[in-house]
Chains A and B, each alone.
Chain A
Amino acid sequence: MKKDTIGEPLSRVDGRLKVTGGAKYSGEYKFPGLTYAVLVPATIVNGTVTAVDIKAAKYAPGVLAVITPFNAEKVPGYQPDAKKPVKGLKLFNDNQVHFNGQPIALVIADTFERATYAATLVKATYQVQPFETDFRKNIDKGVTPNAGKYKDYVRGEADAYKNAQVKIEQEYIQPSEMHNPMELHVTTAYWEGDNKVTVYTKSQGVMSSQRAIAAAFNLEPQNVLINARFVGGAFGSSLRTWPHEIAAVQAAKFVKHPVKLTLTREQMFTLVGYRPLTIQKIGLGATADGKLTGITHESHSQTAVYEEFTENAVNVSRFLYQSPNVNTRYKVVPLHIGVPAPMRGPGESTGAYALESALDELSYALNIDPIELRLRNYADIDQERNLPWSSKHLKECYQLGADRIGWANRSPKPGTIKDGDWLVGYGIGCGAFGAYRGHAEAKLKLMADGSINIQSATTDIGPGTNTAMIVIAADVLGMPAEKITFDLGNSSLPPAPTQGGSSTVSSVGSAVHDVCVALRQKLYTLQGKPRDSMDEIDYAAVIKEQNLPYLEISVGSESGDNAKNYSMYSFSAHFAKVYVHPLTGVVKIKNLIAVVDAGKIVNQKTAASQMKGGAVGGIGMAMTEEAIIDNRFGRYINGNFADYHVPVNADIPQIEAVFINKPDPVINPVGTKGIGEISLIGVAPAIANAVFNATGIRVRDLPITPDKLLS
């Protein structure tokens, strides 16, 4: 019987390449005749471009072309009669401006510097229309999403919390949090003739990028080759193909040269999405002994006038705790701003901040320990869908986290523990994220020397996907990881879903698992053994004995019908210990523990890294990140890395990731549920709750900056 090797810590297989600069990202490919495209942003918020004076730019040194709404070649997918119309903003297709910073022209030159300079020479004239960017002022103009078809949720009685013995009714604000992965968004494109294009781009899904570019330019998908071998972080900002990516492809066609378009850091604040500003109202009702009798969760969030964006902020309240009465409401407020995008734990982290803060408030109102309150309302089944959980070990998460953080030292009375000058507090925040599995394919090639190559068109936006895949393969095949390579990030490989929704290990990992099982079965069959034999295999020997140059095998893999009988989620409990200075409002996070039930953990080392990365994102959400718009001008006033604060190393404490590590029996053959999102969901409320425990000050509008804690 082969030994179970899944979960053993394996360093990233491409770690050395990454830290030595050998890993090549989309902006690092050089082609003969490469040219550089720079976007020209609109300086109005709403209206039309009436003219663009491109003379000075066009005759500036090195400039090949200037694309504007008035001279752009039509992008087929932007036209009303398109077979698959492109959704969202259609750059240069018309002269409408919907938000400040929307590109209104594109300059292509022989160097980046010359293109940048020429872009400053482009002068647009506008007809200006009134605009609205003020979320609060327009919150009453919120609309029901999906053209009014979105359904609010009711279980039992709506607003039942109002009649409860003990109730909490509060409002929580999540500000706009801008996508800023370390790697800027960059697209390099070149055409071969009129019907074939190759695109290097920052993408979370090479197949979906392929479909999007093919639709935009009316091409056969196989004539669109997408490369995203390395991605320097994406967090949801590359789930879709953005208008500027299509513009790069359009520019390459126009100038008949390879074109590279790199967004500036400042443009990242308007063009690649963000976690939307959201105001949530939570009503919680409970009996005096802490049984929830009603939960109401309402949310309003920003969206763009030209495209609707929705997320699941309210959904978490439907199933995380047991309650006979739950209702949720959701509206979006269209404004003259860029469209939001999913950001790690999209909706769920915003929702969990509100729900988990409110639950904490309830615990003080009831004088019941927050963990005890959660245990009294533990959901043994998913009441939303009326299904059993495929697996749920949240109780163990509470226990493990409480032990590690030293919960026993917590005082139920806020502001009563001190260490020197500093007030000390403890907090918990929980989260859940759906465990998904999509259809994925994998191709395996066994070489004459007994080594293995596996391919699948997934991507690795940072978690170490190929490392995880190699771990799974090594385990099934019973061979050392060093003998296995895994190729990803190219649309010519066997199709796989986009890397998003924490589903890659579940989907692609299952395909890798299945293709390895298929190989074993094939080899046993060739040897005349029973298919499901467990004999050790000497791969090189078998292939030699069978006189084969190599052996290739492909599978497609997806979940069976059984999955429909279960509700599948990953669960987390985050614990924070904070110090707060009562005079200056400075917060030091002393300790952060992330305890996760995400099924079987494939690689303890990379999984722990991913948990820590998510926690850092959560610290940014809790403590520092907020994009601020001056509504008089409709412009962000801190859209740069000096003024918009992502956390720095000095903000980050020791983060400990603890895994329950019990395989989920339903979701997939490996038993993994996914950790990408759950690593962030619940971090912000854990910190906010700890800050309250330390100070007695409840921060209901993130981020928790010193000014909000001055007593």
Chain B
Amino acid sequence: MNQFQYNKANEPHSAVKLVAKDPDAHFLAGGTNLIDLMKMGVVNPTKLVDINHLPFSKIEKLPHGLRIGALVSNSDVADSELVKAGFPLLSQAINAGASPQLRNMATVGGNLMQRTRCPYFFDTTLPCNKRKPGSGCGALEGINRMHAIFGASDQCIAVNPSDMNVAMRALNATVHVSGPKGARGIPIADFHRLPGEQPELDNTLKNGELITAVELPYSAFNKNLSYLKIRDRTSYAFALVSAAVALHLEGETIKEARLAMGGVAHKPWRLSAAEEFLKGKMVSEGNFRQAAQIAMKGAKAYQYNQFKLKLAPNTLIQSLRIASGIAAS
């Protein structure tokens, strides 16, 4: 770990200023991702700006939704009665991630920003375009069992590892940020990006922009839902594939569906075509299978993640079955 300067920010404005001035400065929230990366030498900040004392740790009820502060811990979000009542999908997704100790430390802002777990990104002796642009993608022809099947480029096939983000994507969250040029809201769909030619950029935040809160609009997606995560052990492992499903049902009819997947792309992957297909359809295994088939359009696998072409649709089907009550969770 290199030497760095530690600053404790007392108000958002000064935090933004400190980081905006210095491209090698980073905000420090729970530290569960950043400190690991520093120890591995993957990220070498010259300056850490500790934001834990900023006033972003409340969950507030708005007329049209919930506002969750960027510093609320993952555990507190998952356990919040407001979240469990209005957005149980989010609770399920968060609780499917990491371990209780990590969730106690991890924050909403940090989770949105967490880096990929691609082993080539984590090991500084191996090539990685995300860590070191131009050094090549180690995973493309390497051990790519955990890697993307949607939206990858030949520069990078890493996935966004978050569970929380998948639920937020399904729930149409808006990420609120405050930057040198003022505040703005970014729809979650536009927050994370695909690797394209610039895999070093995970998201569309501009330098110095600080996440202040996430807003979730109330909806009818709080009754029939399921976050199903398939992984190599029962707990404390990143997703091979996960499927967030929320259905607005009227009797046996699907009025509207929200579907997103994790572990399959560089960003939480929304399945709009499959949602469109399910609209107005009856709850049935057959419809779920067709939706899954539609969801898989454009999927492309590599040497070691061929299985995801099967696991992804199967996980979506099973999650749909659970959400609609056909199967037990």
Contact = CB atoms under 8 A, between A and B. Distances in A.
Contact of A586 (B117, B126, B145, B230): B230
Contact of A635 (B123, B141, B233, B311): B123
Nearest to B328: A420
Interface string B158-178: 000000000000000000000
Contacts of B5: none
Contact of A645 (B1, B41, B123, B232): B232
Name B's interface SS: loop
Given A624-B232, A637-B143, A648-B234, A584 B314 contact: yes
B41 A421 contact: no
B233 A630 contact: no
Instruction: Name, among A584, A588, A703, the residue most crowded by chain B CB atoms within 10 Å (CB to CB).
Output: A584
A633 B125 contact: yes
A583 B317 contact: yes
A649 B120 CA distance: 29
Contact of A710 (B143, B232, B310, B317): B310
Interface residues of B, number: 33
Nearest to A705: B232
A585 B318 CA distance: 11
A116 B235 contact: no
B232 A630 contact: no
B143 A635 contact: no
A116 B1 contact: yes
Contacts of A182: none
A43 B124 CA distance: 10
Contact of B138 (A630, A638, A648): A630
A710 B311 contact: yes
A73 B126 CA distance: 33
A578 B226 CA distance: 24
A562 to B, nearest CB: 48
B311 A630 contact: no
Contacts of B240: 706-707
A624 B235 CA distance: 12
Interface string A104-129: 00000000000011001000000000
B323 to A, nearest CB: 14
A19 interface: no
A430 B240 CA distance: 33
A707 B234 CA distance: 14
A643 B145 CA distance: 12
A710 B233 contact: no
A637 B125 contact: no
B123 A642 contact: no
Name A's interface SS: loop
B142 A632 contact: yes
Contacts of B236: 648
A637 B123 contact: yes
B238 to A, nearest CB: 8
A392 interface: no
A46 to B, nearest CB: 15
A370 B232 CA distance: 29
A643 B230 contact: no
B233 A637 contact: no
Given A120-B41, A584-B318, A628-B143, A645 B233 contact: yes
B6 interface: no
A648 B125 CA distance: 30
B237 interface: yes
A589 to B, nearest CB: 10
The 10 closest A-B pairs by CB, nearest first: A707-B307, A650-B234, A637-B119, A583-B314, A650-B235, A710-B310, A583-B318, A645-B233, A651-B234, A43-B125
21 contacts: A43-B125, A116-B1, A581-B318, A584-B314, A623-B233, A628-B143, A630-B138, A632-B141, A633-B125, A633-B126, A633-B138, A637-B119, A637-B120, A643-B117, A648-B234, A650-B234, A705-B232, A706-B231, A706-B311, A707-B145, A710-B311
Given A117-B1, A420-B327, 6 more contacts: A585-B230, A624-B233, A630-B138, A637-B142, A645-B237, A648-B236
Interface of A: 43, 116-117, 120, 420-421, 581, 583-586, 588, 623-624, 628, 630, 632-633, 635, 637-638, 642-643, 645, 647-651, 703, 705-707, 710
